[in-house]
């Protein structure tokens, strides 16, 4: 077991923790051959009986008792002041200490981001971390960022997100030269606000090693027009939640149509159940659950707070993919180029 990857989990984070966390770990391990171990941070009295429900699960899990947890409604600044020793704090600290490769939590997003920044610190050349989400596309997935960490972004931060998102997509989705686009209200050069237009100019001027495609529109996200979609956290989060809600709505309509009458049920029985199951899986938001915090000196994955065991297991799969990837080393060259450009810009401004 010495070669096993280690995932550090905030077992108390999320609306239905720790039960869905433990059940999610059990679901994640079904049929998996890759050696993985888990550090479960939280209340041992609650976690231990849940592990006992699943045969052999306790053998790959180490419980790290924590007396406290971060409240889902806590403000980030408050969480940082009071979080030391909590399950969330200790889960991230295990990555800092080298005990684990990735930390995962379904807890308070703002608190997790703040705690991760304090413990892991920002990577050189990055001013703010971003949350990247994998978005279903006609062939595979697109990467969309930011989807909630930064409501307002400067042009240079959007360019940082482009660098981070491109490296993430290469590392996790295996695309050798991902295409990158800036989300805008139109593809024309003069469309959009000043921030997005300045970001477009900066990314072209920076001569980064990116296959930049310029502006794309909202319908391009699901069309997979570019591999990486860059936007601010407000827009990205609204788009993500809208897409998830639409998927649930259409899924409900589909179930209703297939079970509305005896004839519909018979027709459903004649259809390929495999095809229907594939369609259902593609439309299930739980199968893409898990946003990755990019820009830190370490990897942190955020699961939806209201997810179930299946959704949490998906976030563990994403965490494992990140642990197996070379993401942290992938971004270095472009971040250095971007930092050099920003330094030259500042120097020119001071001279003027």
List domains and CATH numbers for the chain.
Answer: 1-120+296-328 (3.40.718.10), 129-294+331-352 (3.40.718.10)
What pLDDT is recorded for position 281?
A: 58
Cα–Cα distance, 198 to 200 (Å, whole number): 5
Cα–Cα distance, 134 to 292 (Å, whole number): 9
Helix or strand (DSSP H, E) at 135: strand 130-136
Task: Give me the helices (H) in 140-272, please.
Answer: 155-173, 194-205, 219-223, 233-259, 262-270
What pLDDT is recorded for position 136?
A: 83
CA-wise closest residue to 145 among 178, 119, 176, 121:
178
What pLDDT is recorded for position 179?
A: 96
What pLDDT is recorded for position 346?
A: 52
What pLDDT is recorded for position 24?
A: 96
Cα–Cα distance, 116 to 121 (Å, whole number): 7
What pLDDT is recorded for position 293?
A: 92
pLDDT means per 10 residues, the chain with 352 residues, are 81 94 95 90 97 95 95 86 92 96 94 94 85 86 89 91 90 88 90 92 85 94 93 90 79 72 61 54 64 90 91 91 79 70 58 54
What pLDDT is recorded for position 242?
A: 86
| Peptide bond before residue 18 is cis, with ω within 30 degrees of 0 | yes
Cα–Cα distance, 75 to 80 (Å, whole number): 9
């Amino acid at each position: 077991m010495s070669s096993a990857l280690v995932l550090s989990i905030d077992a108390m984070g999320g609306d239905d923790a720790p039960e869905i966390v433990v059940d999610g770990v059990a679901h994640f391990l079904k049929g998996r051959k890759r050696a993985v171990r888990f550090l479960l941070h939280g209340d041992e009295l609650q976690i231990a009986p849940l592990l006992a429900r699943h045969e052999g699960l306790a053998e790959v899990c180490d419980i790290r008792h924590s007396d406290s947890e971060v409240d889902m409604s806590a403000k980030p600044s408050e969480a940082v002041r009071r979080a030391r020793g909590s399950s969330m704090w200790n889960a991230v600290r295990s990555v800092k200490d080298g005990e684990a490769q990735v930390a995962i939590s379904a807890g308070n997003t703002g608190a997790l981001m703040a705690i991760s920044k304090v413990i892991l610190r920002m990577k050189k050349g990055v001013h703010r971390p971003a949350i990247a989400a994998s978005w279903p596309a006609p062939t595979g997935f697109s990467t969309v960022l930011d989807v909630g960490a930064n409501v307002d972004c400067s042009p240079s931060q959007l360019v940082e997100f482009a660098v981070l998102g491109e490296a993430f997509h290469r590392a996790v989705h295996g695309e050798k030269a991902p295409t990158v686009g800036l989300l805008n209200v139109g593809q024309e050069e003069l469309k959009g606000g000043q921030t997005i237009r300045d970001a477009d100019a900066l990314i072209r001027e920076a001569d980064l090693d990116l296959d930049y495609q310029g502006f794309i529109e909202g319908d391009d996200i699901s069309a997979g027009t570019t591999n990486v979609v860059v936007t601010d956290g407000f827009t990205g989060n609204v788009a993500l939640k809208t897409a998830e809600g639409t998927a649930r709505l259409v899924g409900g309509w589909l179930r209703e149509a297939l079970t509305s009458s005896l004839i519909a049920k018979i027709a459903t029985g004649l259809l390929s159940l495999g095809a229907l199951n594939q369609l259902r899986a593609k439309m299930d938001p739980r199968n893409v659950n898990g946003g990755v915090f990019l820009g830190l000196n370490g990897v942190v994955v955020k699961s939806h707070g209201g997810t179930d065991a299946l959704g949490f297991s998906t976030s563990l799969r994403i965490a494992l993919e990140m642990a197996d990837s070379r993401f942290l080393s992938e971004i270095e060259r472009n971040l250095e180029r971007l930092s050099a450009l920003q330094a030259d810009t500042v120097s020119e401004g001071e001279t003027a």
